[in-house]
Amino acid sequence: MARSTLTQIAFKILGLLIIAASLVGGWLAMDYRHFITHPLPVGEQGHRHLIEPGTSVNRFARQLQQAGVLPHPHYLAWLARWEGKAQQIKAGEYDFSPGITPRELLDKVVSGAVVQHTLTVIEGWTFAQMLAQIQQHPVLVHTLGDQSPQQIMSALGYADQHPEGRFLADTYHFPRGTRDVDFLARAYKAMEAHLSEEWDNRDTSVPYKSAYEALIMASIIEKETALDQERAAIAGVFVRRLQVGMRLQTDPTVIYALGERFDGNLRRADLQYDSPYNTYRYAGLPPTPIALPGVDSLRAALHPASGDALYFVSRGDGSHQFSATLEQHNQAVRRYQLNSAATQ
């Protein structure tokens, strides 16, 4: 066969290879563009994925392929490298919703938009109640074990402080892997910030010697009523009692003093229980808060309502009857409590 013929055949083969490569390259380019702009096959329930620290983009893409939500793992790796994001993937827990595109997915894990879990600390909880909820939370990392309250405060850097009332009742959001001690530190700082702000803006006529005394009062208010409209009025009663030298005589402080002895029924004999928290026996504020107050109770403690009421009694529906004199108060007690008990 002549050399020229062989050359012609070689050029034809090369031409065919070039055409084939062009077709394959064009198809790959079209397929890649379709991939990065169209939704991934994520089910209606979405897909939750945990990226461990040190995970490469290739490993991440293969994991998504194995989970059935990424048909072309190499395309995602190409996209990450093309956009300079291959080394920017953040470890954490992510939710990928139906309709998400590969580019949106990549942007999410690069930005670190991890799943946020929640724990709501309820107004009126004691420190022990809050700690029990933290210890039971399935996402928080538990490092405190069975440490005592004072050991926990020491771990937070406040060894000289009593833990009661020092943490703000609120709803907290946090990612998986958050430590219990970090959660507590955040709640502590939140309370410090709110208490400082409220103290700086306080009614200057309040009789507290420090912000901590206001915190103690706020905890009592928190336990006395769940009605926002009554907090300032109850604060006013207690402030006036302090100002005229009356004992606070508030049941929640006795209940706190009784601790596990309290069976849900406060008896007359309990009011004689000897404890510095028993405000029926001892004048002034108890030595520490008795619960975790919310912001509304803090504000009420530092902005008590004016008036002449020195007494209040429950109406039995969650609200209270306020009275200026003992005679009026006794009448209210007979009306709302004694008569109610007699009809039960």
Sketch the domain layout of the chain as residue ranges: 43-115, 117-196, 203-343
36 compared with 120, residue with greater pLDDT: 120
pLDDT at residue number 29: 55
Say whether pLDDT at 6 is over 70.
no
Average pLDDT over residues 1-6: 56
3-state secondary structure of 171: strand
Give 20's pLDDT tier (boundaries 50, 70, 90). very low
Q: Measuring CA to CA, which residue among 252, 217, 233 is closest to residue 324?
A: 233
Number of H helices, E strands in the chain: 13, 6
Q: For position 342, what pLDDT does the model report? A: 45
Residue 229 has pLDDT above 50, yes or no: yes
Instruction: Compute how many other C-beta atoms are within 10 angstroms of the C-beta atom of residue 259.
Output: 11
Region for 137 from its dihedrals, namely left if φ exceeds 0, alpha if ψ lies in -120 to 50, beta otherwise: beta
Average pLDDT, the chain: 89
Cα separation, 233 vs 138, in Å, equals 40
State yes or no: pLDDT of 12 exceeds 60: no
> Quick one: pLDDT at residue 344?
45
Which of 34-67 are b and which e, b meaning 16 or more Cβ less than 10 Å from the residue's Cβ?
ebbeeebebeeeebebebeeeeebeebbbbbeee
Residue 219 in contact with residue 320, Cβ under 8 Å?
Answer: no
**How many residues appear in the chain?**
344
pTM over 0.85: no
Which two structure tokens, joined as six digits, stand for 186?
């955040």
With beta carbons less than 8 A apart as the criterion, state whether 233 and 309 touch. yes
**What are 49's two structure tokens?**
């994925």
Tell me the DSSP string of 214-283.
Answer: HHHHHHHHHHH---HHHHHHHHHHHHHHHHHT-----HHHHHHHHGGG--S---GGGGG---TT-TTTS-
CB 218 within 8 A of CB 289: yes
DSSP string covering 49-83, please?
EEEPTT--HHHHHHHHHHTTS-S-HHHHHHHHHHT
Please state, for a pLDDT cut of 70, what percent of the chain lies above it.
89
Q: Which helix (H) or strand (E) holds 101?
A: none
- 43-115: which CATH topology? Dna Ligase; domain 1 (3.30.1490)
Please tell me the least confidently modeled range out of 36-40, 67-71, 321-325: 36-40
Return the percentage of the chain with pLDDT > 90, whole number.
Answer: 75
The per-residue pLDDT for range 160-213, each reduced to its tens digit, is 999 999 999 999 999 999 999 999 999 999 999 999 999 999 999 999 999 999
pLDDT tier, 25 (very low <50, low <70, confident <90, very high otherwise): very low
